[in-house]
A and B are shown apart, each in its own frame.
Chain A
Amino acid sequence: MLTIDRATHDAIIAHARRDHPDEACGVVAGPIGSDVPARFIPMLNAAMSPTFYEFDSGDLLKLYREMDDRDEEPVVVYHSHTSTEAYPSRTDINLAGEPGAHYVLVSTRDGADQSGPVDFRSYRIVDGEVTEEEVRVVDRYEDVAATQQKAEH
């Protein structure tokens, strides 16, 4: 399951709306091992394409160096599909290089650049296997931590 805060969830959707009809892409980094997507990092789609996305190789190095320095990892890798459903394509599966990440796909195909709905779904992609997972949107992570603590008592 992906647990994500409302502000980050909404920021991903806003990025996808803004870049439509091109695909939007980015990362949400979090402390290593935390599974908490804490730091929203929208990336430039160097392909600037409605059917393909790719981080610029210089941006990619900078991003990973920065995460390294902060003891972070990519908790979420997101991108949009602008004319197809929010499900990983064969290309997405072949190129998925972060087995520990939640791969978030949003679809803006139904007029989402205006005010239409945006589909927001999350997957694990490991060794070519796609597993969809539940998405839980919370107001703040602190609330989740508090609830979990309560449940343990």
Chain B
Amino acid sequence: MAIEVRIPTILRTYTGGERAVEGSGATVTELIDKLEVDHPGIQERLLENGEARRFVNIYVNDEDIRFTGGLDTAVADGDTVVILPAVAGGSASGF
């Protein structure tokens, strides 16, 4: 069994249109490294300077990784990882 990774519309250009792909690894960092091997270019859309991007949400089994150890959050076979771009904006500048 693998880890199911759900891909948002805006990143499906990297997965050949697939809504979900298989992943592997022991942490979210490893999972993203493997995603990058299979779907080159996707890592840069998820990470910035080695950190999770502020306006991309990553959930492991429905928990936002911001609250579970960030990129070090453990993952295992059978887990579901959901990636969702934040829905955010506003008249403020600087984002």
A interface list, Cβ under 8 A from B: 23, 25, 27, 43, 47, 49, 51-55, 57-58, 60-61, 64, 73, 77, 79, 81-84, 88-92, 94-100
Contacts and interface: CB of A to CB of B under 8 A. Distances in A.
Nearest to A74: B87
Contact of A53 (B9, B82, B84, B88): B88
Interface stretch (B24-32, B35-43, B57-65, B69-77): B57-65
Nearest to A83: B91
Contacts, number: 92
Contacts of B90: 23, 47, 49, 51-53, 79, 81, 89, 91-92
Given A53-B88, A97-B85, 8 more contacts: A52-B92, A57-B66, A61-B84, A64-B82, A73-B9, A79-B89, A81-B91, A88-B89
Contacts of B59: 57, 61
Contacts of A91: 89-95
A43 B88 CA distance: 11
Given A57-B64, A58-B64, A97-B10, A25 B87 contact: yes
Nearest to B94: A91
B88 A52 contact: yes
Contacts of A97: 8, 10, 55, 85-87
B57 A23 contact: no
Interface residues of B, number: 22
Nearest to B57: A57
A60 B86 contact: yes
A99 B59 CA distance: 22
A51 B10 contact: no
Contact of B88 (A27, A81, A90, A95): A95
A99 B86 contact: no
Contacts of A64: 82, 84
Nearest to B86: A54
A91 B87 CA distance: 11
Interface in B1-58: 8-10, 55, 57
